[in-house]
Chain A
Amino acid sequence: MTRITRLFGGAAPVAQSATPPEYFPQEETRAGRLHGPNTHLRHLLGAVVFVICGALASGAGAQATGDLGLVVERASGSLLVVDQSERARIGRIEGLGDLSHASIVYSPDARFGFVFGRDGGLTKVDIIAQEIVGRVMQAGNSIGGAISDDGRYVAVSNYEPGGVRVFDADTLDMVADIPTGSKAIGLVDIPGTRFVFSLWDAGETWIADLSGDRPEITRITGMGTNPYDALVTGDGRTYIAGLFGEDHLSALDLWQDDPKPRAVLPGYAKGREGLPVYKMPHLEGWALAGHEFALPALGQHEVLWVDARSLAESGRTAVHGQPVFAIARPDGRHVWVNFAHPRNDTIQVIDSLSKQVIHEFKPGPGVLHMEFTPRGREVWLSVRDAGKVMIYDTQSFEKLGEIEADSPSGIFFTARAHKTGL
């Protein structure tokens, strides 16, 4: 581990790079990927262990992970291992600490999940063996994470101490510490072993490039007051930050050498009373529905539509409450919306062409999260206060099944392993 000491004071001018010698201890930690004379033997041994673990876990030899997932049980600090095809839970992994607001990313082979807990815990779990294989308490209070496009690094954004820390995905050794002096939010991966995140207190977005032998930081100022979350599109090009302190969002074109923030939906709530927000909305990369983004408004009971090319407003849909997630079905044809307390018992489905609500139902109290199966045929909903994950057909809206879970929140299918920004 090489700690990069604090480089950026609160009022420091733009700092473009950090200075970590021994940044990648590749010879030691990445040996498994270098093809030396011992590597084949090591692979063979690894394969044997892999098969034994698989057999122990499933009782039936090798276990494919492509249709598996993890469900966060937020209160009990555990994860359910779930099987999409069986619509069933197939195991539980315990001992992960405070999992309120926890999120998960996956290794490229979809075997390992990296779990980011609110308490600063970063836990690596093996889905096949259904056990924790690594855990570090890396900060006091964290909010999310991402994995690099090459699968080598896992980054965590922290509220306390404010900043981003980057870990070796194999060993969970820290390889970079990027203090920001500000709560770091909206952390995503983009191509080129890069991470992008924003600063709640400073109103900046930083790009951390980890492709070289030292991290390069690009600071983008003037994003606006209090960015609270952000998304990146699946191609890694457009980064959009939601702003608590502004009447607009800010977008960056990350294909540009020198990205400049651009206001999106300026004045969308102008002249209207801001409604109380009992839960902050989330922005996610699957806001793209056809050629438009569907974005949750903040302080208005609306989903806002933005043309993805021009970034001009293309419509508004009045909805049931303060939207938390507005998630396009993978084909983009519909957008599913859930809501903040006290209206969090309801789901609305919006047609992306007409922008009308075409379906509304109440799965139960505390609908916290939605996850589509990779091609969108089913959606899994976590219904916290019912203690259930509920599964619906997205064409007929018929309920297909449910799974018992202890205060479930986030649902994360392994297909996320293959998506930028998730």
Chain B
Amino acid sequence: MNRALVILALAAAPAWAEPDAAALERLVLQDCGSCHGLTLKGGLGPDIRSGALGHYDSDSLARVILDGIPGTPMPPWHPLLSEAEARWIAVYLLERDPG
């Protein structure tokens, strides 16, 4: 019974939902964009268009998003994003049309 409740609770939790693509795309452009530029070609932070991210796979890029890069202004996003959301963003960045 306890287990059933837990499963029910998890099923209802947002973390189990599909990442909200529109909201995440907006987050990338608007909030990542405040350092990396609205076009993601760089600002105080570096260029994060797909062509500049060739040395990352989606897992390692998702880790960078979640953990940040200590000693730089790249903050850890794990307080705000789930693993699934970070992975969605990593794939989005890597597959995005280089513009």
A residues adjacent to B (C-beta < 8 A):
74-75, 98-101, 118-119, 141, 143, 159-160, 183, 185, 200, 228, 244, 276-280, 341-342, 366, 384-385
Contact = CB atoms under 8 A, between A and B. Distances in A.
B23 to A, nearest CB: 11
Contacts of A342: 80
Interface in B53-90: 68, 73, 75-77, 79-80
Interface centre among A75, A99, A141, A342 (most CB of B within 10 A): A141
B44 interface: yes
Contacts, number: 63
Interface string B38-50: 1101111000000
15 contacts: A74-B38, A141-B37, A143-B43, A159-B43, A185-B44, A228-B73, A276-B75, A276-B77, A277-B75, A278-B34, A278-B75, A279-B35, A342-B80, A366-B30, A385-B30
B38 A341 contact: no
A141 B41 contact: yes
Given A98-B37, A100-B37, A100-B38, A118 B43 contact: yes
Interface string B10-32: 00000000000000000000110
B79 A276 contact: yes
Given A100-B38, A276-B68, A183 B31 contact: no
A331 B76 CA distance: 38
Given A98-B39, A100-B38, A141-B37, A200 B31 contact: no
Contact of B31 (A118, A141, A185, A278): A278
A277 B80 contact: no
B37 A118 contact: yes
Given A185-B44, A228-B73, 14 more contacts: A98-B38, A100-B38, A101-B34, A101-B37, A118-B37, A119-B39, A159-B44, A276-B68, A278-B75, A278-B77, A280-B34, A280-B35, A280-B44, A341-B80
A141 B31 CA distance: 18
Contacts of A277: 73, 75
Contacts of B33: 100
A14 to B, nearest CB: 26
A183 B73 CA distance: 14
Contacts of A385: 30
Interface centre among A183, A200, A341, A366 (most CB of B within 10 A): A341
A250 B42 CA distance: 26
A183 B44 contact: yes
A25 B7 CA distance: 76
B81 to A, nearest CB: 10
A279 B34 contact: yes
A143 B43 CA distance: 8
Contacts of A228: 44, 73
A159 B42 CA distance: 9
A16 to B, nearest CB: 29
B5 to A, nearest CB: 30
Nearest to B37: A118
B2 to A, nearest CB: 33
Contacts of B37: 98, 100-101, 118, 141
A101 B31 CA distance: 12
Query: Which 5 A-B pairs have CB atoms at the shortest separation, nearest pair first?
Result: A100-B38, A276-B75, A341-B31, A279-B34, A118-B37
A279 B31 CA distance: 8
B38 to A, nearest CB: 3
Contacts of B73: 228, 244, 277, 280
Contacts of A278: 31, 34, 75, 77, 80
A88 B76 CA distance: 40
A342 B75 CA distance: 13
Nearest to B80: A342
A98 B33 CA distance: 11
B76 A101 contact: no
A99 B41 CA distance: 13
Contacts of A119: 39
